Chains A and B, each alone.
Chain A
Amino acid sequence: MDLAVTILEQGLIYGILALGVYITYKILDFPDLTVDGSFPLGAAVTATLIVKGVNPYLTLLISFVAGALAGVCTGLIHVKFKVRDLLSGIIMMTALWTINLRVAGTSNVPLFSKESIFNNDMLKSFVPESMMPYMTLIIVLILTMIVKIILDLYLKTKSGLLLRAVGDNDRLVISLAKEDGNVKILGLALANGLVSLAGSVFCQEERVFEISMGTGAIVIGLASVIIGTSLFKKMTVIKATTSVLIGSVLYKACVAIAIRNFEPQDMKLITAVLFLVILIISMERKKKVKGNA
């Protein structure tokens, strides 16, 4: 039972990250490695602000903005300086390591006795004691649902349609008299904003900021997106965002089961093998419009 709760908590928190990766990888068709830096960026910003006594709920918003700025930088490097998508992400990911250290001040910030979105006086005053063990899951669930619903609504707006169009066929966006680069930057900002938000929630749940917490975040995100979208490919009733969240929970479950039977140092190898197996099963094939103009 405890294991199930932990898997759900972690799966849903990483689900927010997966929604961000879904925007770049699936919608924009942009392999964005910035994620490995923007996830701990959200955590670093949150840890610093919480230590300073800022309201933990407010840190969620600020983390989102910080991540969005990182995304804008990746976008500018790619669009304005014409650096390849993969390299733009790597440059930002590398730069963010230092920025995260500077923001947090040190490589490790414990938050054990501090208030968080899961543990504060306001919550304690109206939630009965018996409910407290499940409060984390309930709050994570609410947060993830809010993010998912807003994203669903956004993708149906005019701006959202344009975002989907730019990944599908950027020539069409140009023919609609819109600068395709700006739409890509917007998408990267949104995606990294979500990733950073996930980092903020994760650091409050773990009650610690750790500089290396983002290492491999992109793999978790990609695996969740690919599991989710290929598992429910045929079921058009289920929204892509829902399947991504389910994918994230399933991935965390797989990792949890694998880890029980192996040593902790095997973790990365298990992750790699798991990711490979998922890729082979789902047979990700890329279809893209080729331009000749």
Chain B
Amino acid sequence: MLELKGIHKYYNPGTVNEMCLFDNFDLSVQKGEFISIVGSNGSGKTSLLNIICGSIPVEAGTIKLEGKDITREKEFKRNRRIGRVHQNPAMGTCPNMTILENMSLADNKGKFFGLSRGTNKTRIDAYKESLRQLGLGLEDKLNVKVGSLSGGQRQAMALLMSTMTPIDFLILDEHTAALDPKTADLIMELTDKIVREKQLTTIMVTHNLRYAVEYGTRLMMMHQGECILDKKGKEKEEVSVDTILSLFNEISIECGN
């Protein structure tokens, strides 16, 4: 459903610092796939997500979503069909607004923000129900400002908010990286549950090799703007943490670090 063809991406074009990240990069994502992407810093993982979401432009190539060319479509328009959770838990919520207000905003995604009541009273029970599933006790804190919640609680909310309305695509950008190991596990389990329930096509960037191996239906490793490992289905299930770790060491030695 998502097709990236011949993507070229340069940083600082026209200067001495010009750096080519993607040179003729292709990627095709099937509906219902859950891709985990690993790779060293600077390998182009986050740039890839930014290109898909439209946060950064590309110099050449096309991006097609379900056959429709979206290469020149603005980021906010693409977001109608894309949900994204960032590494920084603060980016997915409004800290000075209450949980209820945040949920109401997310619930109205893609619709018109007019002069009708901001928070729909009849939806409160539904919000409470989905918050209860998190198991963090947030359902009793609807009128608490999100800024006073912990990073893990906020990230759980960000995940819930980005998947609240029907979307085609879920983008997870190292969304467990800023959390402690236990909370990270919790958020990861929650992610898997939501992805399964809503049958979302998902791309997850992670530095946690265990998550990459355990979760998802496809595993990719990126290095210097290229995909050096791509395993799907049965092949993917056979991959172990050790295999990618040794591959990781190989590419790191190549780079000299």
Contact = CB atoms under 8 A, between A and B. Distances in A.
A21 interface: no
A261 interface: no
B51 to A, nearest CB: 12
Contact of A175 (B84, B104, B147): B84
A180 B76 CA distance: 8
* Chain B binding surface, main DSSP class: loop
Nearest to A27: B96
B114 A157 contact: yes
A287 to B, nearest CB: 7
A200 B250 CA distance: 73
Interface in A148-202: 154, 156-162, 164-165, 168-169, 171-180
A161 B104 contact: yes
A177 B115 contact: no
B116 A179 contact: no
A160 B112 CA distance: 12
Contacts of B92: 172, 175
B13 interface: no
A281 to B, nearest CB: 22
A125 interface: no
Interface in B52-105: 53, 55, 74-77, 79-80, 83-84, 86-88, 90-97, 101, 104-105
A73 to B, nearest CB: 23
Given A168-B95, A172-B91, A158 B108 contact: yes
Interface residues of B, number: 40
Given A162-B105, A174-B75, A177-B76, A287 B115 contact: no
A214 to B, nearest CB: 30
Contacts of A180: 76
Contacts of A168: 94-97
A177 B162 contact: no
Interface residues of A, number: 28
A247 B170 CA distance: 46
B50 interface: yes
A292 B88 contact: yes
Contact of A162 (B55, B80, B113): B113
Given A165-B105, A176-B109, A158 B76 contact: no
A177 B105 CA distance: 11
A293 interface: yes
A144 to B, nearest CB: 22
Given A158-B117, A161-B113, A162-B105, A291 B91 contact: yes
A213 B100 CA distance: 43
A174 B147 CA distance: 20
A280 interface: no
B220 to A, nearest CB: 21
B233 interface: no
B91 A169 contact: yes
Nearest to A182: B76
Nearest to B77: A177
A289 interface: yes
A1 B90 CA distance: 51
Contacts of A156: 117-119
A179 B94 contact: no
A168 to B, nearest CB: 4
Contacts of B105: 161-162, 165, 172, 176
A165 B86 CA distance: 17
A92 to B, nearest CB: 26
B110 interface: yes
B97 A174 contact: no
Contact of B115 (A158, A171, A290): A158
A292 B92 CA distance: 12
B106 interface: yes
Given A164-B94, A293-B86, 11 more contacts: A154-B115, A156-B119, A157-B115, A158-B118, A159-B115, A162-B113, A169-B90, A169-B95, A172-B92, A177-B76, A292-B88
Interface of A: 154, 156-162, 164-165, 168-169, 171-180, 287, 289-293
Q: Which 8 A-B pairs have the closest CB atoms?
A: A168-B94, A161-B118, A177-B80, A158-B113, A177-B79, A162-B113, A176-B109, A157-B115
